[in-house]
Amino acid sequence: MADAEVIPLGEPLGTRGRPGRGSKNATPSQAARSLAPTRPKRSPKAERPDAPAVARIRRVTPPESPRHTSTDDPADSSSTDVAQPARDGGGGDRVAAALAFVRRRLTGDYDIDDLGFDRELTSAVFMSLLRPLAQRWFRIEVRGIENIPAEGGALLVANHSGTVPLDALMTAVVVHDHAGRYVRSLGADLVFALPLVSELARKAGVTLACSEDAERMLQSGELVGVWPEGFKGVGKPFSQRYKLQRFGRGGFVSAAIRTGVPIVPCSIVGAEETYPLVGNVPALARLLRVPYLPITPFFPWLGPLGLVPLPSKWVIEFGEPIRTDTYAESGADDPMLVFNLTDQVRETIQQTLYDLLVHRQHVFV
Amino acid sequence: MGRVVLVTGVAGQLGSQTARRLAADPAVDKVVGVDVLPPRGELAGVRFVRADIRNPVIAKVLAVEDVDTVAHLGVYASGGRLGGAVSTKEANVIGTMQLLAACQRAPGLRRVLLKSSTGVYGSSSRDPAVFGEHTPPQRPPTAGYAKDCAEVEGYLSGFARRRPDIAVTVLRCADLLSARLETPLGRYFRLPVIPRVLGFDPRLQLLHAEDALDIVQRAVTHDRPGTYNVAGHGVLLLSQAVRRLGKLWVALPAIGFGPAGQALRRTSRVDLAPDVVDLLTHGRVVDTTAVQASFGWAPRWSTARTLTDFATEVGQGPVGADRVRQAEQALLASLTRGR
C-alpha cells in the first residue's frame, strides 16, 4: 500500500500560522490561537473524563442551563436537588449520586440543546458503554490529540470504513476522553429515519449532514465531526480498504470557510478490519431501502455472533489543523477553492493512512 | 384617524382574548370581532359582527367599519369547535380566500396579520434540526391543520404581491400548550396513557398562550411586515415532557400509530392527524431570532416553563416527580442503613 500514488498539490493552502480572518475580529480567534503548537495547558482535572462517569455528572452539566438563567419566567419553581451526595467520600455518596441520576432521568429533570444533544446521558451512559470497546477491544492508540483545539468551533474530517460506522463512535470516545470535548457528528438522513437509531443518535449529539446544521453548530463553537465518504466509505468492499472514496461534494469545506473554523484531518486505521465486507446483496438492499446489505466472513452465517466486531488494533491520528479563517467568507462560494481544500484534506488523510499502514506490524496486535 | 382592527375567529379562545386585549390597548380605537358562532364570554369594548368569512358579506363589514388592520386568527386545527377535518378545511381555506378577496378591494386597509403555525415546515428525517423562516420544507405537510396553514400562507403571499401597499405579517407559532386553552397538543397530553412512536423521541417546542397573545397584540400595533417564527426558548424531548408530566406512556411502532390515532379519534377528541404523527416522530424546532430582533420581544415562557405551567394546572400523573423523589429517599435510607 505504501507505493500508492498521491498527487501533491503545488501550493500548500492555509496560512501556516499567521493570523487570519477569524470571526470578523482583527486578532486571531480563540480557536485559531489555540491552534498554535504550544497549546495552553488545561488543568489536568478539567473535563478529564477518567473519573467514574456518574460522579462526574455535576461537573459536566453546563453551569448556565436555561432552567436557572431564565429568571424572568413567570412561574419559577426551580427544583432543588434533594439527594446531593454527602461529602464524606465513602461508597454512600456514590449510591446517592447514582440514585439522583436515576431520579433525574425518570422525572425528565435534565436539559438538552436545540439539536437534541443530551450531555448528561452521553457522558454517563453512552461513553461508559463504548469506552471498554475503545480501550480493551480495539486498544485504540491516539496520536496528535493536541491538534484538536481546546475550545471553539472546529471541523473534524475523517475517513469512514468498516461496514458499521463504529469509527464514528470510537472517535467520539477518544476525543471525549483525551481532549475533553464532545464530537458532534453529522449523519446521513437514513440515521434519522431508522427507529431507535434516530433516537439514540440525536441524544448523542448527531445531527443531519446539511449545511444549515453544520454551520449552526460550528458557529456556536462545537467540535463537529464529518465523515464525507458517507455510505460509499462504510459500504465499500474489503478489497478496497484504506482507499478513500469521493469526499462528498465539498459541502463540509464550504461550511468551515463560511464559519472560519479550522479543519482537523483525522485518519483512522483498524476500522476496515472490524467487519470485512466481502459481499453485498444489492437487490435485497434496494428492497429494504438501505444503501447496502453486507456479507462478512461471519455475518449472516454465524447469526448474532457474526455481529461481534473483529478485535483489530486501531490507530487514530489527528493531523495538523488547516485554517480556513484566512479566506473571505465569500470563499465558500468559490468552487475552485472549495475543491482544492477538499482535495488537500483528502490527500492529507490518505497520505497519513498509508504512513500508518506502512508502520503497522500486525492487524490484530 | 385612529386604528380599527378586525379580528376573525373571535369566538375562539385565542381570538376572544386577543380582541379583549386590543380593546384595552390605547393604540387601538375600535375592535371589530367576526365569527360564525357567538363568543362565549363577554367581549367588553369589542363590536361583534356575526358573519361567516366564507361569505362576501365580510367585504361590507370591512367597508362599513373602515377597517385598517385585519388580524386573521380564524385558522383552526380540526377536532376543535368546527368539527371534522372536511368542514374545518373548508372554513380555513375558503374562509381565508374570501377574506383576502374582500381585503384586496378595501382601499383603506393598511395591515394584515395571520396567525399561522410552524407546522408549515412539515417534519421529516431529511429536515435540518432547526428551521429558519427561509428553510424550504423537505416534505411539506400533506394533510390537516399544517396543510391548511401552508395553503393559507400561499394565498396570503399572493395577496401581498397584488397589494404591495399593505404590510403583511405572518406569525408561525409553535404548538400552543395551556391548561386554559383547547389545543391539539393539550388534548394529547391529557390522555391517561400517552402513545409514542416506538424508537423515536421528537424534539418539541412549545408556546405559552400568554406569549402568543403578546406577540399577536404587538404585530397588530407595530408595523413589522414579514414572516416570523414564534416559540418558547429551549427544547424538550417528548419522553422528557411525558416524564415531567408524570404520565405513563406506551410505545407503538410507526405502522400501528395510524390505526391507534383512528381509534383515539372515535373514543376521545384527540386527533392524531398525519401532520401530528410526523411531529411526534421527527419533532420540529424553529429559530426565533428574527422575531426577537424585529419586535424587540422575547417570549417570557420557555418551553420547559410552559409545560410546567400546564402540569400544575392539570395535575401530575401517577409517576410524578414527588413520588419518584419519595421512592429515592426511601431507597437511599434503606441502603445507607444496611451499611
pLDDT in tens, B176-230: 998 888 888 998 999 989 999 999 999 999 999 999 999 999 999 999 999 999 9
Instruction: Output the pLDDT for position A26.
Output: 40
pLDDT category of residue A84 using cuts at 50, 70 and 90: very low
B185, B213, B178: which is closest to B22 by C-alpha?
Answer: B213
Other C-beta atoms lying within 10 Å of the C-beta of residue A53: 20
Residues whose CB falls within 8 Å of the CB of residue A226, separated by 6 or more in sequence, listed in order: A155, A156, A157, A158, A185, A186, A209, A214, A252
pTM of the predicted protein model? 0.83
Instruction: Output the pLDDT for position B339.
Output: 56
pLDDT in tens, B42-68: 888 899 999 888 888 899 999 999 999
pLDDT category of residue A60 using cuts at 50, 70 and 90: very low
Q: Give helix B209-221 / helix B13-24 axis angle, nearest 10°.
A: 50
pLDDT category of residue B79 using cuts at 50, 70 and 90: low
Amino acid at A107: T
pLDDT category of residue B80 using cuts at 50, 70 and 90: low
Give the separation between CA A32 and CA A30, rounded to whole angstroms: 5
| In chain B, residues 127-156 whose CB comes closer than 8 Å to chain A | 127-130, 132, 135
pLDDT in tens, B139-178: 999 888 899 999 999 999 999 999 999 999 999 999 999 8
Say which of A199, A212, A213 has its CB closest to residue B200.
A199
Residue that wins the pLDDT comparison between B313 and B81: B313
Contacts of B137 in chain A (CB under 8 A): none
Instruction: Give CA separation, B130 vs A83, A126, B3, B287, in Å.
Output: 35, 24, 37, 6
Contacts of A107 in chain B (CB under 8 A): 243-244, 246, 320-321, 324-325
B40, B29, B211: which is closest to B9 by C-alpha?
Answer: B40
Q: Which one of B205, B305, B326 would you mutate to disrupt binding with A, by most A Cβ within 10 Å of its Cβ?
A: B305
Amino acid at A77: S
What are the DSSP calls for A43-56, one per residue? PTTTT-TTS-HHHH
Is B318 near chain A, with CB under 8 Å? no
User: Are the Cβ atoms of A83 and B285 closer than 8 angstroms?
Assistant: no
End-to-end, the C-alpha distance of chain B in Å comes to 81
Which of A26-35, A134-143, B186-195: highest mean pLDDT? A134-143
Helix (H) or strand (E) holding B207: strand B206-207
pLDDT category of residue B2 using cuts at 50, 70 and 90: low
Average pLDDT, chain A: 81
Q: Which of A38-42, A90-94, A262-266, A296-300 has the lowest mean pLDDT?
A: A38-42
**Owner of C-alpha cell 363589514:** B61
Give the separation between CA B48 and CA B41, rounded to whole angstroms: 12
- ipTM for the assembly: 0.88
Q: Which one of A198, A215, A220, A290 would you mutate to disrupt binding with B, by most B Cβ within 10 Å of its Cβ?
A: A198
What are the DSSP calls for A148-204, one per residue? S-SSS-EEEEE---SSS-HHHHHHHHHHHHHH---EEEEE-HHHHHSTTHHHHHHHT
Residue A300: is the preceding peptide bond cis (ω within 30°)? yes
Give the separation between CA A321 and CA A150, rounded to whole angstroms: 12
The CA distance from B130 to the nearest CA of chain A, in Å, is 7
Q: What percent of chain A has pLDDT over 90?
A: 64
Give the separation between CA A203 and CA A120, rounded to whole angstroms: 10
pLDDT in tens, B116-143: 999 999 999 999 999 999 999 999 998 8
Give the separation between CA A210 and CA A254, rounded to whole angstroms: 11
Mean pLDDT of A309-327: 95
Residue A47 has pLDDT above 70, yes or no: no
Instruction: Output the pLDDT for position A75.
Output: 38
pLDDT in tens, B277-326: 999 999 999 999 999 999 999 999 999 999 999 999 888 888 888 888 88
- For Cα atoms B271, B272, B275, give the angle at the middle one, nearest 5 degrees: 120
